Amino acid sequence: MVSSPADDDPVDTSTDPPATDGTVAALSEEELYAIVRVAAEDAVLGALGTLMLVGIGIVLIATGASALLADVTPISLLISAVFIGFGVYLVTSSLGVIPPAREWL
């Protein structure tokens, strides 16, 4: 591992980190690595979460559609409509077409 220039400076031995102005040039190599690692992890987990929710929504829509076509009773129509409605909501809110329910309140 390559040590950062801040670690090589024997003059700066204070326990408080130096104040930075928020620019990338002022960050040490370790701080920059930590920021990039967290950002990449968030991006990957966000993409996987979106794919998972879209997949669950598609399964709910398919289940509701198959139940709608299989048997036509008032109860099955209601259950199918709920499955299809929730599946459509899950897909559209996951893709950002409509806002999620937590933003409605």
Residue 81 located in a structural domain: yes
Our count of domains for the chain comes to 1
Q: For 61-70, what is each residue's pLDDT tens digit?
A: 999 999 988 8
pLDDT value at residue 26: 76
Q: Indicate whether 11 belongs to any domain.
A: no
**Could you tell me if residue 55 is inside a domain?**
yes
The answer to whether position 95 is within a domain reads yes
Q: Is residue 23 in a domain?
A: no
Sign of the torsion angle spanned by Cα atoms 83, 84, 89, 94: positive
User: Sign (positive/negative) of CA torsion 65, 67, 69, 74?
Assistant: negative
Percentage of the chain surpassing pLDDT 70?
76
Half-sphere exposure of 82 (CA within 13 A, CB side): 6
Q: Which two tokens stand for residue 30?
A: 């370790």
Give residue 75's domain range: 47-105
40 located within any domain: no
26: in domain: no
What is the mean pLDDT of the segment spanning 89-103?
A: 92
Six token digits for residue 86: 């929730």
Give this prediction's pTM: 0.66
What confidence score (pLDDT) does residue 40 get?
Answer: 95
The answer to the question of residue 18 being in a domain is no
Structure tokens at 70: 């299989």
Written as six digits, the tokens of 55 are: 């997949």
